[in-house]
Homo-oligomer: A and B are copies of this chain.
Amino acid sequence: MATDALHIVIIGAGNVASHLCRAFDTSKHKIVQLYNRSEKGKELADEYGISFTTDVNTLSKAEVYLIAIPDDAIVDFAEKIPFKESLIAHTSGAVPLSVIEGSSTNIGVFYPLQTFTKGKPVDFSEIPICIEANSEENEKMLYKLGKEISTNIKRIDSEKRKLVHVAAVFANNFSNHMYEMAYSFMMKNNLPFDILKPLIKETADKIQHQTPFESQTGPAKRGDQKTIESHLALLKDEEYKEIYKLVSQSIKNTHGG
């Protein structure tokens, strides 16, 4: 093991935790333990040959604790970690750094900006990791940690991270809901959702190279009211109609229609 390698304990066994295990597995840093409150994490720990515990009293001592559990459980757990000089970092987009101030003299945030799916590996090297810490030294440690698994480390404070999280809700949750609406509409009409998959893939690919503004097409952008009206007539569901109207209007406003 390299001399500047860090010992890490991962807290949690969900999507983020499991992708962190996979990412650090081939790095010079070493996950020395995985904690989860239930036995659910045992399999994950075994997969990577990591020691596992469900008992906070048997937590190993490590240089860094990465907390990857639901937002509202972070503070309580952080305070239970008995090693008050280790660096304790959570991995949440929405939780400010300050909430874990009571848990250690060394605290930080290590937020991988990605949507993780169980069992679907992602190329971690492309994932932006937003870091923040309560001292320059701690920030350097998080940077050192991150750069072994990603080429894209960003220093982003709590206030800005919260804004990034809002934008991520639009970019991820809301765009996925547009797929969901397309899916439901196709199903209701006995049409195969599969034929929309290349379109969805290309829509996301386009904005890797040009702005969403430049990418926009369709009836709302063109101000094609006739097509908009005919689409509304086909959407029987009131919620669907309302979202169709509101988003079309917003596209029109954006494109000066």
Residue numbers of A with Cβ under 8 A of B are 71, 94, 113-115, 117, 120, 122, 126-128, 130, 152, 154, 156, 160, 162-186, 189, 191-193, 195-213, 215-221, 224, 227, 230-231, 234-235, 239, 242-244, 246-247, 249-251, 253-254
Contacts and interface: CB of A to CB of B under 8 A. Distances in A.
Contacts of A192: 154
Contacts of A189: 160, 163
Contacts of A176: 203, 206-207, 212, 215-216
A67 to B, nearest CB: 17
Given A166-B234, A183-B213, A243 B239 contact: no
B207 A197 contact: yes
A255 to B, nearest CB: 10
Most buried by B among A127, A180, A224, A231: A180
Contacts of A243: 174, 246-247, 250
B239 A253 contact: yes
Given A198-B128, A224-B71, A172 B217 contact: yes
A249 B219 CA distance: 25
A115 B204 contact: no
Given A128-B195, A175-B175, A230-B162, A213 B169 contact: no
Given A113-B199, A120-B206, A172-B217, 13 more contacts: A94-B230, A114-B199, A162-B230, A163-B185, A164-B191, A167-B191, A169-B244, A171-B199, A172-B200, A177-B254, A180-B216, A182-B212, A201-B208
9 contacts: A94-B219, A115-B199, A115-B202, A164-B191, A166-B235, A170-B244, A175-B203, A177-B216, A180-B251
A212 to B, nearest CB: 4
A208 B213 contact: no
Nearest to A197: B208
Given A195-B113, A198-B113, A246-B246, A217 B173 contact: yes
A230 B188 CA distance: 35
Contact of A172 (B156, B203, B208): B203
Nearest to A188: B163
Q: Please name the 6 residue pairs, one residue from A and one from B, whose CB atoms are nearest each other, closest first.
A: A204-B204, A173-B218, A180-B212, A179-B212, A175-B175, A171-B182
Most buried by B among A94, A152, A165, A182: A182
A167 B185 contact: yes
A128 B152 CA distance: 36
